[in-house]
Amino acid sequence: MNIEWFVNGAGAVLLLYILYRITLVLFNILGPYVFFRPIDLKKKAGASWAVVTGATDGIGKSYCFELARRGFNIYLVSRTESKLVQTKKDILAKHPNVQIRYATFDFTNPSPTDYQELLSQLNEVNIGILINNVGMFFEYPDYIHQMGGGLERLADVAIVNMLPPTLLSAGILPQMIRRKAGVIVNISSATGAFKMAQWSVYSASKKYVSWLTATLRKEYGDKGILFQTITPFIVATKMAGNPNTSFFYPDSDTFAKSALNTIGNSNDTTGYIAHQLQYEMMNLMPEFLFDRAVLKTSAELKQRALKNREEKSLP
The residue that leads in pLDDT, 72 or 15, is 72
Rounded to whole angstroms, the Cα distance separating 297 from 4 reads: 47
pLDDT of 167: 98
Confidence of residue 136 (pLDDT cuts 50, 70, 90): very high
Pick the CATH number of 35-272 from 3.40.50.970, 3.40.50.1370, 3.40.50.720, 3.40.50.20: 3.40.50.720
Per-residue pLDDT, averaged over 241-261, amounts to 89
Mean pLDDT, the chain, whole residue set = 92
Residue 85 has pLDDT above 70, yes or no: yes
Catalytically annotated residues: 202
The pLDDT of 295-307, averaged and rounded, is 89
Contacts of 134 (CB under 8 A, 6+ apart): 53, 54, 60, 77, 78, 107, 160, 164
Report pTM. Answer: 0.91
Domain residue spans of the chain? 35-272
- Cβ distance 190 to 232 under 8 Å? yes
